[in-house]
Amino acid sequence: MDMDIDEKAKGEEKQGKSVAVILVGAPGSGKSTFCEHVMRSSSARPWVRVCQDTIKNGKAGTKAQCIESAMNALKDGKSVFIDRCNMEKEQRDEFVKLGGSAQVDVHAVVLDLPAKLCISRSVKRTGHEGNLQGGRAAVVVNRMLQKKELPKLSEGFARITCCQSESDVQSAVDAYSGLGPLDTLPSGYFGQKNAGAKVQLGIMRFLKKTDGPANSESTSKSVPDSNASRIIEEKETSSKGTGSLSENSRKESKEGGELFVGSVGGDVSLNDSPTLAFPSISTADFQFDIEKASDIIVEKVIEFFNKLGNARLVLVDLSHKSKILSLVRAKASEKNINSNKFFTFVGDITRLHSGGGLHCNVIANAANWRLKPGGGGVNAAIFSAGGPSLEVATKEQAQSLYPGSAVVVPLPSISPLFSREGVTHVIHVVGPNMNPHRPNCLNNDYSKGCKVLREAYTSLFEGFATIVRTQAKSPKGSIENLQAKLPKSQEHSDASRNHFTNSDQKTKREDPHKYERSKRSKAYQDDTEDSNTGKPNLSNKSGGSRTKSWGSWAQALYNTAMHPEKHKDAVLEISDDVVVLNDLYPKAKRHVLVVARCAGLDRLSDVHKEHLPLLRTMHEVGLKWVEKFLHDDSSLVFRLGYHLDPSMRQLHLHVISQDFDSTYLKNKKHWNSFNTAFFRDSVDVVEEVSSDGKAKLKEDDSMLSMELRCHRCRSAHPNIPRLKSHITNCRATFPSTLLQNGRLVHAPSNVSIGP
């Protein structure tokens, strides 16, 4: 009997389901073309296209007519495309109801292509069914895009495919074309979920930057695949096989668990690899749980493995009985980590070469936040072994460090660690503290503690990776080579620091050293008093993945903030906390900078809770200047905020009028830096720092290349000149988000403008 039921069920299944695909997209987004392509190449499934522009005997009809026509087609067992814009939820609702029958799946295909593209297509086309073409099209498309509401599954769709590039569209065409009469596509949301109009990614992201090549053009072109899951962006987890299992087990059996102890010296080829020796962070004096710490070490080692090339990581502890070593060793072997690239070592981290035969060109120090010598443990040992020159070199890089961050210090050649042990860099890293007798104790808050410890290892390994990368650029890429090249005198520290600060720049092939050194000395001539200039700022952003150094041009604000009396002509106001100056290249009628005078506070990511009073002061000072400007011209409107990733060093608040009437506003980056999420409103920053202790920092460099949109009416424009001519006339009210929380500052409305 059961079998009968099964058979019946199967029989019903065999009828297959019809699909109603509701297309969503502006004119020019390619809805009709999409339907055409699917209908042309789909042989197996009957499709009907319901187009409102032509439904009434070739002329435009009503929504009701579309629904009726769609229902009839579905009743006949056909699948339908609803070809109209359907940009708003309300417009879609009635079509979603077509899915009332169990035999119909309602899908949405969103053609969320760049406004620029839709506009240029609809302006250019001729013979459009809806007669939307020419100049009028641009206005209409723009208006529609402003009202855009991307569909959500909660509206009742079984499936949503969101296409943001031509290759996404092609994948969707393939998916629907390949749909046989009995097939169904998987349910769910496919493609990038975008925050709608708020953050619309620029075309550059899809057309130029090839960050995610796996899912874009190559997929759809080379592998025509009806499997729609391909549309989903999936990060390729390239898990390269560790490959050296036998090697691993061999070493283990030989050493009885204590990998490599005393056996490294002879292995010359391995000993040439760049190597970072590091102590377990926070597990000694800071009393961090070693079980948790060992998990994090292994996790972070794995994370960095593929970035390291032939470089090695070595966890070092003094004692054979070290619990952290044995825990890490066990976990590392469980995960089959290649023991040539990561291993544990018992010995004194300051005497690895002379005492243990292990050559490590970089060692990490579990530092305290003041970067002071002494205390005890590894920190005392490393500062003592490094000598006074390590202290000096350290202070040149940073005065203090926050838990979770690290700073790379190139070691002067006079340091015994350099001459005796061959160590070229010390990386100071500060981990979380669980010891109530030490500063910044986290009171057993391990969720925060683990986060900070992860950040600490990320910062440490990033710092090391930077060294490895820059050393790899030197002629033969080996450490010996680098050392041989280093001048013997004090110049050494300058030369090798150079390798970091300029690490992002492409070096000239002929002689990178000469090139960089000459640049360096030039920078020093310009700014001799300032030995901090070349500091590689390794203090991490909250995500903890990127390091940044400041070019010589980026020092101007720092110099002004530190010595405003020397820049009297530029400075509008000086107080103990801030300096106010006109932006040298104002991007609007009024554009001033409120610069913090706190040393080491270079950018938003350096800001912590302790800076809250300063942030408030900066905001107040900014408002005071706004008031002054409004007194002169009450028609102005101001915004106060910080750049997420500023080009100039030293934290500065932009106070800028919203006319953007300036010849200095010349390119996309200029515009987007003040009119996307790249600009963080001061009020929001203050709020975030007061509640979370830091500002929210999105890691997203796409914002500066986003398409150009009017900051008032949000209309899109193809280039800067066109945008500028638009904004001189646009008087639309500002978007609601800007009107909230005092993000915009304008003259009080009850004040009349003169007699």
Partner DNA sequence: GTTCTAGAAC
- Tokens found for residue 421: 């042990």
Strands 188-190 and 159-163: parallel
Catalytic residue among 652, 654, 711, 717, which? 652
In whole angstroms, what is the distance from residue 331 CA to residue 299 CA? Answer: 10
Do the beta carbons of residue 398 and residue 369 sit within 8 Å? no
* Residue 652: active-site member: yes
Per CB under 7 A, residues contacting DNA are 120, 204, 208, 505-506, 551, 553-554, 584-585, 643, 646-648, 664, 666-668, 670, 673, 705, 718-722
Helices (H) and strands (E) in the chain, counts: 27, 23
In whole angstroms, what is the distance from residue 702 CA to residue 244 CA? Answer: 39
Displacement of CA 414 from its chain's centroid (Å): 39
How far CA 68 is from CA of 47, 80, 96, 263, in Å, comes to 16, 12, 13, 82
Residue appearing with tokens 């509401």: 149
**Residue 88: count of CB within 10 angstroms of its CB:** 14
Question: Considering the complex, what minimum distance in angstroms separates the CB of residue 386 from DNA?
Answer: 34
Q: Which is nearer to DNA, 60 or 571 (CB)?
A: 571
Beta bridge partners of 421: none
Q: Which is nearer to DNA, 93 or 553 (CB)?
A: 553
Half-sphere exposure of 711 (CA within 13 A, CB side): 22
Host H or E run for residue 12 = helix 2-14
Half-sphere exposure of 691 (CA within 13 A, CB side): 6
In whole angstroms, what is the distance from residue 580 CA to residue 596 CA? Answer: 9
DSSP codes joined into one string, 499-527: HHHTTTSPPPSS-HHHHHHHHHHHHHHHT
- Tokens found for residue 187: 């349910």
Question: Considering the complex, what minimum distance in angstroms separates the CB of residue 426 from DNA?
Answer: 29
Strands 425-429 and 406-410: antiparallel
Find all residues with CB under 8 Å of 672, minimum gap 6, and list them: 678, 703, 704, 705, 706, 708
Displacement of CA 281 from its chain's centroid (Å): 26
Do the beta carbons of residue 176 and residue 21 sit within 8 Å? yes
In whole angstroms, what is the distance from residue 614 CA to residue 6 CA? Answer: 72
The per-residue b/e assignment along 210-247, b for 16 or more CB within 10 angstroms, e otherwise, is eeeeebbbebbeeeeeeebebbeeeeeeeeeebebeee
Active site residues: 652
